[in-house]
Structure 1
């Protein structure tokens, strides 16, 4: 028996042992429980979160521009008009 076939045989036996072990069933069960638990939570995807963060940044920029414009207009109306 050459070394290559020995390692292939050993790899096959290890693979079969892992596939048939209770650890594989435990992993499947844990994944199923976590998926079920996460589905009950009100979570958003990373993509949705990033989109909302961009919308919030744009809204903040517009708000700051409007506040500056409003302060400018209030400053103009607060200036006393010279008497005629």
Structure 2
């Protein structure tokens, strides 16, 4: 993923030549806007996401095992 700085630079470079004198100010404004909007998205870092995903997979495995055990116990009880 591109950094905020890279995105802001690309946006400011895409501006027409007539605004070249204002390019640095516009670049700073783009960067500030991107940072404030991304902060509102409530994103989590990739490492935190991966840790939660691994924990969910582990929990899902335990749940599957418990469901099989309950089914076996119910079958045993009904037999």
**The two structures share one fold, judged by TM-score above 0.5:** yes
Match of 2:59 in 1: 59
Match of 1:26 in 2: 26
CA distance in 1: counterparts of 2:27 and 2:57, whole angstroms: 41
CA distance in 2: counterparts of 1:63 and 1:53, whole angstroms: 15
Q: Deviations over 1:16-72 (max 9, x none)?
A: xxxx85333322211111101111222111111111111110110000000001111
TM-score, normalised with respect to structure 1: 0.63
Superposed CA RMSD: 1.6
What is the count of residue pairs matched by the alignment?
60
| Runs of 5+ consecutive residues of structure 2 not aligned to the other structure | 1-19
Match of 1:71 in 2: 71
| Runs of 5+ consecutive residues of structure 1 not aligned to the other structure | 1-19, 80-84
Structure ranking higher on relative contact order (CA contacts 8 Å, 6+ apart): 2
TM-score, normalised with respect to structure 2: 0.66
CA distance in 2: counterparts of 1:58 and 1:48, whole angstroms: 15
Rg (Cα) greater in structure = 1
